[in-house]
Amino acid sequence: MVRIEDIARTVERYSTIGGIAGRSLLDLDTNPVPADWTHITKIDPEDEKELPLLYPLYLQHTSALEVGGSRDVTDQNTEETLELVADRPVPAFQEPSGPKQVTTDTHSRAEFLAIPEVLNGDVEALIGTLGSGVEYIESELAPEMIAKKLPISPGAAIEDRLAAFATSWLLQETVFEAYIIMNPDSAAARESNVTENDLLDPGTAKQRAMAAERHLGSELIYLEYSGTFGGEEAESILEAVDEGRRWSRLWYGGGLDNRENAHAVLDAGADAVVVGNVFHEVAAEEADICERAVEELDTDVTRDEVLDWLDGEVDIAESSATKYLSTIVDVPNPEGRAREYLVTTIQTWLAVQDTVAELDEKGVASIPEIRELFQSTELPGRSDVTAVLDEESFLTDLLVALAAPRYDLEADGPPVKHLSLDLE
Ligand SMILES: CC(C)=CCC/C(C)=C/CC/C(C)=C/CC/C(C)=C/COP(=O)(O)OP(=O)(O)O
Ligand SMILES: O=P(O)(O)OC[C@@H](O)CO
């Protein structure tokens, strides 16, 4: 007699074989991580790492946003950061460094979940944290998601099965990032116990990447030099790993801040570069420039006058804005763009000072009053951002949320504490 288990086993085997044949014999690109992503901006939700005010202008050139970090990341700051950036203007995915950072809210906002598995760290970083993560999904996250979807409880036994099913499904949809961490002096290395002794030569890196692709099914191999550029050593590893991988994407991250470095790792075989620090430095730099501009410039200066002032104050070629844009190899004239975005930001910020002075003078009692005034203020950044986002109210929403605390009001707006500028 044919048993249902036998049929299920056969179906499972053939579907697995079909998948393997598709990938290796037919060379089908079934990897869910898009092949055309060449530049990823890594946004750290921790409070100290901020975003520039007109962040959609900068982010319109990157392929996707990776939201995550290894220190001081919480479920709350991850939710806030995803709320701010998801699909503005490119897709954002979440890279948790701990299970509880994944919530129903982050899951609904993120394009997908990308989970690190470190190939040259300790057991915790390869599988231990993932184990506690799977348990957390099955016992907390999945039941919560199911409860949100079902109007009435179907009973404990069915809930258990649904939770198990939802857990497997969620993991099936998850992208696994096989990390090779090569800077022992980085937070990522400390988190995963990577020491000098764990650094890999190109041949070993290739073997581990091959095992990650074939055995762990890692959609991504991630060569990580976080905070420092890996140079020729990184290029040799990328070349070796590129030779061994067939289906996984290969990303490089760490210390990128110019075009030459970005080209070097892409030419060595990386599909995409990941850029973190220098993007957050754009925000820090902007805060400093805008503070000086408010002190030194009248609010009714022309764009040309702002340009002259900026060129006298800042070496644009060496600015973080230029450095960030230079890492996106298909952006022509990064210095010109950086100048343009900085001038627009300064002009916008000067106009905002006028509006705030008016609000201060009149004495504000409600959020609608603030909104009305910002809505009618001519802001140079508004049309630029609207052209990128197709979201008319974006800048007004940000500014209302920034101004509200100044008048002891609470705006139900975007989480602007992650922005570089404030009005308190
Ligand atoms: C299944 C669920 C719900 C969660 C899984 C949670 C897991 C497995 C997290 C893995 C944590 C891990 C192994 C972290 C290792 C360190 C690492 C690769 C961190 C990422 O580095 P960055 O945060 O980019 O580094 P910096 O902070 O140095 O920039
Ligand atoms: O911050 P940087 O050095 O750009 O590194 C980016 C990323 O690889 C960190 O995980």
Return d(Cα 371, Cα 411) in angstroms, integer. 10
Q: Given this model, what pLDDT does residue 121 score?
A: 98
Residue 281 CB–ligand 2 contact under 6 Å:
no
Pocket residue to mutate for ligand 1, from 44, 67, 93, 97, most atoms within 8 A of Cβ: 97
Quick check: 199 and 182 in contact, CB under 8 A?
yes
> Among the three residues 233, 259, 278, which one is the final residue of a domain in this structure?
278
Show the tokens assigned to 321: 């804005």
Q: Are 262 and 299 within one domain? A: no
Q: Which atom of ligand 1 is nearest to the CA of 174?
A: 1
* Ligand 2 close to Cβ of residue 420 (< 6 A): no
- Per-residue CA distances from 33 to 150, 219, 226, 291, 363 (Å): 31, 7, 21, 40, 51
255 lines ligand 1 (CB under 6 A): no
Residue range 199-241, pLDDT digits in tens: 999 999 999 999 999 999 999 999 999 999 999 999 999 999 9
Distance CA 17, CA 224 (A): 32
Question: Does one domain contain both 51 and 184?
Answer: yes
Flag whether 176 is in a domain. Answer: yes
Per-residue pLDDT at 355: 95
Of 95, 107, 113, 115, the one to substitute when testing ligand 1's pocket (max ligand atoms within 8 A of C-beta) is: 115
> 272: buried, middle or exposed (CB in 10 Å: 19+, 13-18, 0-12)?
buried
Q: Is residue 188 part of a domain?
A: yes
Tell me, what's the pLDDT at 155?
A: 83
What is the secondary structure of 244-256 as a DSSP string?
H-SSSEEEEESS-
| 424 in any annotated domain | no
pLDDT at 21 (0 to 100): 81
Task: Provide the pLDDT for residue 259.
Answer: 98
- In this structure, is residue 284 part of a structural domain? yes
Domain co-membership, 215 together with 341: no
Structural domain range at position 327: 280-418
Last residue of a domain, one of 243, 278, 313: 278
- Nearest Cα neighbor of 81 from 90, 71, 68, 62 is 68
**pLDDT for res 233:** 98
Q: Are residues 231 and 343 in the same domain?
A: no
Stretches in the chain below the pLDDT threshold 50? none
Instruction: Say if residue 222 is in the same domain as residue 300.
Output: no
Residues 255 and 132 in one domain: yes
Please count the structural domains in the chain: 3
pLDDT at residue 143 in the model: 93
Residues 366 and 343 in one domain: yes
Same domain, 139 and 225: yes
Q: Is the domain of 145 the same as that of 7? A: no
- Positive or negative, the CA dihedral 193, 196, 198, 201 is positive
Beta bridge partners of 251: 222, 272
**Predicted local distance difference test score (pLDDT) of residue 248:** 97
- The ipTM, to two decimals, is 0.96
Q: Quick one: 106 and 182 in the same domain?
A: yes
The answer to whether residues 198 and 295 belong to one domain is no
* 43 Cβ closer than 6 Å to some ligand 1 atom: no
Domain limit, last residue, from 257, 278, 299: 278
Is there an atom of ligand 2 within 6 Å of 380 CB? Answer: no
Domain with 159 in it: what CATH number?
A: 3.20.20.390
Task: Classify residue 2: in a domain, yes or no.
Answer: yes
User: What does the pLDDT read at residue 89?
Assistant: 96
Would the CB of 142 count as within 6 Å of ligand 1?
Answer: no
* Domain identity same for 84 and 54: yes
